[in-house]
Structure 1
Amino acid sequence: MHPRSVRALTRAFRRSPLLVALALGSLLVALTPWLGVASTGPGGRGPTSDPSPGAADQRPAQQSPHHAVAPANAMEPAAPLLSRTGWTATASDEETVGENGRAANVLDGSTATIWHSKWTGTPAPLPHSITVDMHRTAVVSGLVYQPRVTGINGRVGQYSISLSTDGLNWGSPVATGTLADDASAKTLGFAPKGARFVRLTAVTEAGNRGPWTSAAELNLLGDPGTPAATVDLPRTGWTATASDEETTKENGRAGNVLDGDAATHWHSRYAGTPVPLPHSITIDMHRTASVAALVFQPRRDGVNGRVGAYTVTTSTDGTTFGAPVARGTWRDDNTVKTATFTSTVSTRFIRLTATGEAGNRGPWSSAAEIRLSGPANPAAHGSWSRITGFPLVPVATAVLPGNKLLAWSAYAVDRFGGSNGYTQTAILDLKTGTVTQRRIDNTGHDMFCPGIAMLADGRVLVTGGSNAEKASIYDPATDTWTATADMNIARGYQAMTLLSTGEAFVLGGSWSGAAGDKSGEVWSPATRTWRTLPGVPATPAMTADPAGAYRADNHMWLYATTGGKVLQLGPSKMMNWITTGGSGTLKPAGLRADSPDAMTGNAVAYDIGKLLTLGGSTAYQNVPATRRAYTVSISAGQATSARTGDMDHARGFSNSVVLPDGKVAVFGGQSFPVPFSDATSVLTPELWNPATGRFTPLASMAIPRNYHSVANLLPDGRIFSGGGGLCGDCATNHADGAVFTPPYLLNADGTPKPRPVVSGGVPARAAAGSSLTVTTQGAVSSFVLMRAAAATHSTDNDQRRVPLRSTAVTTGTYTVSLPADKGAVIPGTYMLFALNAQGVPSVAKFITVY
């Protein structure tokens, strides 16, 4: 699709997303006969001229514009709705005099009836709670809250969700957060867990109109295929065999499910006389291990053979298989599926048996990849906190002093921007978990799909996006937004970084604004104006994306160095040196080793002049992502790159965060990046060790984090991971986030490790090249500065790790030296961590380096 056509469709979708969705849906139906699908099999969608399921499904790739239509299955919930047969509901209080506000109304299937807290006489004060009793134990992963549709009073604002197996013991909440003050249904997700009772507690009323709470309907979501507290088992040495496999018409061998390539697959035999269902595939780990779940990735190149009804059985000897440890029916889509076992099993052999084809198209079965998950060890794999709900999808985030996280998205709570001149924002208080929402109108700036730079004085500069020429500044000291001068070139999806000079540099961004080269420009904090850099065109830094500039100059990876110089190290395969004085210059810096273009990937500075690039794809969407990772080192004005160890998973739209110990954690992403989709999601984070160049798995995520997701290092050494989606009413909107505790903070039993404490000597401000006298409680081994950073669209050019030289003066007192080179420690707000001999970091102290 031509970029201008894409932009036209984007504008149309902004005006009426439903009409565009319906129009494209009708077009897809009309084109079905031309897409290689004809009527032969029981499902009416089997192959005709070629009985090969693979041959029947070679369809043109869907060309989705950035903000066009979500995938066809997007309206389906991310997890199955549980049947409400036999359920009952009770409430802390209910209105029965002034209206029929009984708790049972949330289960009657009618949005015209509601539960309402007591309001006649003396209203019952907040909080109010309503409890659903399923009268059976089931895996639960979310609560769907439908506010009343006949009025506004009583909409839930701040909330918590708790689970219980007996109705007496509730434990800590599995989810907390704040809901937007509107009538849309809200899906409140959490890590899957077995429970009988689910309790929603309203802490506040969304509009603060009174001490009321109401709900029209409540539903619960079942097992989403994302088991909690598990980790991928290493597949080294594994083999796979099948009851039958196709080797004549295609390479459909069983071993393909273990090759790490989602483009290959196992397929049941269909040449000649197809082998009838059931079909089975057996994994032999060649060792005994504890297994908690089987993770199944459907074939990506077609629909035939998707597994529907299934069972999973296990064996210690490969001969005798016991009763199923999991059974069910998977949906007919291309999302990654998980069969969560009823209990953890110590075994060697795992057998997946397909008893039905998901779409009833024929007697076929197939699988692209199969993985097994075992119990996570917190000391090796980390752990996740409860899910925190936001009143928006956190598409962009910035870490602030005072243990705050700023998030913003678009002009509306669940929809992307439309140049409407305002933006929804939210601030998460990391100490209390409270989320507050605010709409920003005074800057006239819809800050969706922006560039971001953390300024030298700690403020946040946000540029372009939906209002493509605008620039706004957030000041955390005063909690205010102000406008600054418009850019000379209107942009969206541009790259930004602060320079060693304290100025802010911007490049690219053809998603918004008029067509043409989006050359560089620089914002001066002294004059609050922009100057153009005609010597820094964007074209040499573009990828070869088939969609052209609209996609080719997005989300560039920038690293500021000495004297206002910048290394543009991706996502284009050619790196470039940029100077920003005068008219500026751009010169090639060499290829990024043997890497192709890596749009949807990212880069992170893990040491002074050392960066890691991860994943990405040769085009923005609809092409496979890569598992590859590269290091880029800067020395004597030269950039050299080398391939390091590969990730275990291919990833596009992932997020990467450098930790105080120099390791890099990567979260989420898709093996086949498609905006607004949860298909091919990667739910296992990985951790890269610079000492070995290898990646190891971390504890699985409960919710996919793909397109429009973020991740940030927090002041306590943990990581926030959130967002994804923002596509109108589709089911892939993830208006939430969770905090990940890395393994360096945990013992094997999940308890916190003792941490060093920085007790004094860290001033609010310090000059580059100065020395600090820092006191600690007990001995420490090293100190490091971690720049307070901002992330959006998988890109974070602000984060960098700066190891510091330190000398022990006495026990608990250290002289800590800051680098004199502002290219190493660019001006701005940093988090100062102390690390002990075991690599455990302290809670950080904020310091502004100038």
Structure 2
Amino acid sequence: MGSRTTWSSAGLMGSSFTALSCFLGFQFMVSLLLSSLQLQVVEAQGAWEVIVNNAGIASMHTAVTRFNTAVLLDRTDIGPSQLPLPDGVCRNDPNDEASSSTYDCTAHSAVLDLGTNTIRPLFIQTDTWCSSGQFNADGTLVQTGGDNDGFSKIRTLDPCAGDGDCNWVETDVPLQNGRWYATNAQLPDGTQAVVGGRGISTVEYVPANGRGTTYIPLISNANDAQNDNLYPYVHLLPNNQLFIFANQDSILYDWQSNTVANNLPTLPGGPRNYPSAGSSVLLPLSGFNGWTDTEVLICGGATYGAFLNPGAALPATQSCGRISPLDANPAWALENMPLQRNMGDMLLLPDRNVLIVNGAANGAQGWGNAQNPVLTPVLYNPNGAAGTRFQTLGATDIPRVYHSTANVLPDGSVLVAGSNTHQFYTLTGYLATELRIERFSPPYLGNGAGPVIANAPAELEYGAAWTATINNGNAEFIDLSLLSAPYSTHSFAQGQRLLQLETAVPADVGGGSYTVDTTAPPSSVIAPSGYYMLFAVSDGIPSQAQWVHVG
């Protein structure tokens, strides 16, 4: 995890200096030169590395915890997984769709220790298929809904270190409306808004906060044969309203009064949500402008009809839309990605660029609907001039389509897992169920040693001034940012948020160290209370993050 350089699986397979040293004379020198050239290409375009050859499950939902672990989740009624539960532990659930799952001694959730790349099975009883989730202020992962016996369930996991014994708890309090294909958003009052779902056009709050459930026409499935408003994109904005996007339309929603505050323009280019899924991010918020510059980016999707006619392999969408939803007259600005893509995952990186990874060039989400996997990630620079913002990166050789995930890790790399476009585990054939887990190192991890956070508080109180000590930084500017740990599923990282702190010019304190004065975010509207990764970035290279609690 500490290495700044990794080898591309598409490059010299299995090559290393040790292997090359077995050659003699001219062959040795030529091989060394070739590997050096390959290394330079990898550094310029990023690098892929398989860190787990068989996780036992294909992670449909993934979340990174403050204990340097990742929680992996799949369906329970998919038949036996490849990961056994401890001896004597089995699920007995006659409601499961697969007869082989009704009595099942294999795991459908797990914890990945990111330090050792080892897997520990977790027990989960009810079906989490196409469910939603989010972390609470205390770091508890809350998981809501699913299929069959999981439809109205609320589950919690209090994460622990990789060698701990934490496990899922199925709560006795149900959702007010059962949810399948919904989205969760953490709110400033400490509750979570649970928005939408198949056949459910309401928003409710977990835990219940007295506001009940409210019907939202935007997320109704009534007029869309494809139900392209599932897994709506939901972002908490600096004015304490929710941006909610479904299909091609969006609203500003006042969650405190349960009313629609504004209807925003239609985004051209076809449907953008499940099953025609593109992806979305709230672009980084910055303390340098008082947290007021607010923009949403949505990229990709599918041609309408791709889900209803899977054999047609209709092309994915190539366009992105960008909007400032709080402007007096908001409008979408369009630009094209280098590649058409649906089912892509969009991630905010520590350097405030956006990574787009995974997906397919044809088809839509659903069993067997994906065609032509897109193996090449794309980097988007929000601060670049229009027409110059995209950069293609190095390709993987592992397709990641339906039911794949991506999450930023504390070292600035990206965990990529899952992919299962079959109803049950299918380990051979075209787009087989994918049990391998990869780590992608963006180009900045090949640019030399990054800064080091030598000292920073573990707790940040809203609006409080504090000072960080940074080693190996740039004397002119050291960027400090807070990155949330989202719940990644179905091409949308629920709760993803990056906050650039306003910082003073670094003060040189000698020995290659600098102090940087800054201020914590002003309120839970800007930074909902919880655990964030604190990154220092200097000359475009991020530090290893330190986990801090904000609130």
TM-score relative to the length of structure 2: 0.77
User: Shift in Å at residue 821 of structure 1?
Assistant: 3.8
User: Shift in Å at residue 828 of structure 1?
Assistant: 1.8
Q: Which residue of 2 aligns with 1:505?
A: 193
SS at structure 2 position matched to 1:672 = strand
Q: Which residue of 1 aligns with 2:55?
A: 390
Q: Which residue of 1 aligns with 2:290?
A: none
Name the CA shift for 1:638/1:414 in 2 (closer, same or farther; >3 Å): farther
Q: Which residue of 1 aligns with 2:547?
A: 846
Matched, 1:557 2:236: no
Note if contact 1:832-1:847 (Cα within 8 Å) is conserved in structure 2: yes
User: Shift in Å at residue 459 of structure 1?
Assistant: 1.3
Note if contact 1:711-1:720 (Cα within 8 Å) is conserved in structure 2: yes
- Note the alpha carbon deviations across 1:163-195, whole angstroms, 9 max, x for none: xxxxxxxxxx999xxxxxxxxxxxxxx758668
Note if contact 1:425-1:440 (Cα within 8 Å) is conserved in structure 2: yes
User: Shift in Å at residue 533 of structure 1?
Assistant: 2.7
User: Shift in Å at residue 598 of structure 1?
Assistant: 1.3
Q: Which residue of 1 aligns with 2:139?
A: 458
Matched, 1:823 2:536: no
**Residue in structure 2 matching 1:607, options 277, 284, 288:** 284
Greater relative contact order structure (CA < 8 Å, 6+ sep) = 2
Matched, 1:761 2:456: yes
Kindly report which structure 2 residues correspond to 1:761-840, keeping only aligned pairs within 5 A, or say none.
761-763=456-458, 765-780=459-474, 781-808=478-505, 810-811=507-508, 812-836=514-538, 838-840=539-541
Instruction: Measure the CA separation in 2 of the matches of 1:378 and 1:193.
Output: 11
Which residue identity does 1:734 align to in structure 2?
A: E
Kindly report which structure 2 residues correspond to 1:339-358, keeping only aligned pairs within 5 A, or say none.
none
Which residue identity does 1:727 align to in structure 2?
A: Q
User: Shift in Å at residue 532 of structure 1?
Assistant: 2.3
Note if contact 1:562-1:822 (Cα within 8 Å) is conserved in structure 2: no
**Residue in structure 2 matching 1:540, options 205, 211, 218:** 218
- Note the alpha carbon deviations across 1:765-790, whole angstroms, 9 max, x for none: 22222222111113342111111111
Q: Which residue of 2 aligns with 1:446?
A: 127
Kindly report which structure 2 residues correspond to 1:302-381, keeping only aligned pairs within 5 A, or say none.
377-381=41-45
Q: Which residue of 2 aligns with 1:333?
A: none
Note if contact 2:279-2:492 (Cα within 8 Å) is conserved in structure 1: yes
Q: Which residue of 2 aligns with 1:597?
A: 271
Which residue identity does 1:847 align to in structure 2?
A: V
SS at structure 2 position matched to 1:380 = helix
- Note the alpha carbon deviations across 1:137-176, whole angstroms, 9 max, x for none: xxxxxxxxxxxxxxxxxxxxxxxxxxxxxxxxxxxx999x
Instruction: Measure the CA separation in 1 of the matches of 2:112 and 2:377.
Output: 23
SS at structure 1 position matched to 2:122 = strand
Note if contact 2:379-2:390 (Cα within 8 Å) is conserved in structure 1: yes
Note if contact 1:667-1:684 (Cα within 8 Å) is conserved in structure 2: yes
User: Shift in Å at residue 639 of structure 1?
Assistant: 4.7
User: Shift in Å at residue 383 of structure 1?
Assistant: 0.5
- Note the alpha carbon deviations across 1:718-737, whole angstroms, 9 max, x for none: 00111101532433200122
Note if contact 1:787-1:801 (Cα within 8 Å) is conserved in structure 2: yes
Q: Which residue of 1 aligns with 2:359?
A: 669
Instruction: Measure the CA separation in 1 of the matches of 2:358 and 2:535.
Output: 26
User: Shift in Å at residue 379 of structure 1?
Assistant: 3.1
Name the CA shift for 1:712/1:683 in 2 (closer, same or farther; >3 Å): same
Name the CA shift for 1:639/1:607 in 2 (closer, same or farther; >3 Å): farther
Name the CA shift for 1:619/1:523 in 2 (closer, same or farther; >3 Å): farther
Superposed structure 1 runs of 4+ greater than 6 Å apart: 192-196, 419-423
Name the CA shift for 1:192/1:637 in 2 (closer, same or farther; >3 Å): same
Note if contact 1:414-1:733 (Cα within 8 Å) is conserved in structure 2: no
Matched, 1:735 2:425: no
Note if contact 1:720-1:739 (Cα within 8 Å) is conserved in structure 2: yes
Instruction: Measure the CA separation in 2 of the matches of 1:385 and 1:846.
Output: 24
Note if contact 1:488-1:530 (Cα within 8 Å) is conserved in structure 2: no
**Residue in structure 2 matching 1:493, options 181, 187, 210:** 181
Instruction: Measure the CA separation in 1 of the matches of 2:323 and 2:75.
Output: 34
User: Shift in Å at residue 375 of structure 1?
Assistant: 9.4
Which residue identity does 1:393 align to in structure 2?
A: A
Which residue identity does 1:784 align to in structure 2?
A: S
How many residues matched?
A: 464
User: Shift in Å at residue 810 of structure 1?
Assistant: 2.8
Matched, 1:586 2:269: no
Instruction: Measure the CA separation in 2 of the matches of 1:448 and 1:794.
Output: 15
**Residue in structure 2 matching 1:744, options 444, 447, 458:** 444
Instruction: Measure the CA separation in 2 of the matches of 1:633 and 1:509.
Output: 26
Note if contact 1:562-1:821 (Cα within 8 Å) is conserved in structure 2: no
Note if contact 1:489-1:518 (Cα within 8 Å) is conserved in structure 2: no
Name the CA shift for 1:619/1:457 in 2 (closer, same or farther; >3 Å): farther
Note if contact 2:7-2:39 (Cα within 8 Å) is conserved in structure 1: no
User: Shift in Å at residue 602 of structure 1?
Assistant: 0.9
Matched, 1:716 2:411: yes
Which residue identity does 1:541 align to in structure 2?
A: I
Which residue identity does 1:519 align to in structure 2?
A: T
Which residue identity does 1:476 align to in structure 2?
A: P
- Note the alpha carbon deviations across 1:68-93, whole angstroms, 9 max, x for none: xxxxxxxxxxxxxxxxxxxxxxxxxx
Note if contact 2:201-2:221 (Cα within 8 Å) is conserved in structure 1: no
Q: Which residue of 2 aligns with 1:426?
A: 110
Instruction: Measure the CA separation in 2 of the matches of 1:842 and 1:543.
Output: 44
Larger Rg: 1
Q: Which residue of 2 aligns with 1:149?
A: none
Name the CA shift for 1:504/1:639 in 2 (closer, same or farther; >3 Å): farther
Name the CA shift for 1:592/1:547 in 2 (closer, same or farther; >3 Å): closer
Q: Which residue of 1 aligns with 2:374?
A: 682
Note if contact 2:252-2:264 (Cα within 8 Å) is conserved in structure 1: no
Which residue identity does 1:610 align to in structure 2?
A: E
Name the CA shift for 1:415/1:772 in 2 (closer, same or farther; >3 Å): farther
Note if contact 1:593-1:642 (Cα within 8 Å) is conserved in structure 2: no
Instruction: Measure the CA separation in 2 of the matches of 1:687 and 1:460.
Output: 29
Q: Which residue of 1 aligns with 2:85?
A: none
Which residue identity does 1:614 align to in structure 2?
A: C
Gaps of 5+ in 1: 1-172, 176-189, 197-343, 345-373, 748-752
Instruction: Measure the CA separation in 2 of the matches of 1:471 and 1:412.
Output: 18
Name the CA shift for 1:671/1:545 in 2 (closer, same or farther; >3 Å): farther
- Note the alpha carbon deviations across 1:609-640, whole angstroms, 9 max, x for none: 22221101235724431011121224368754
Instruction: Measure the CA separation in 2 of the matches of 1:803 and 1:612.
Output: 17
User: Shift in Å at residue 405 of structure 1?
Assistant: 0.7
Matched, 1:577 2:242: no
Q: Quote the sequence identity (%).
A: 24
Name the CA shift for 1:399/1:737 in 2 (closer, same or farther; >3 Å): same
**Residue in structure 2 matching 1:635, options 326, 332, 336:** 326
Instruction: Measure the CA separation in 2 of the matches of 1:458 and 1:592.
Output: 36
Instruction: Measure the CA separation in 2 of the matches of 1:473 and 1:659.
Output: 27
Gaps of 5+ in 2: 1-5, 16-33, 82-94, 286-293, 509-513
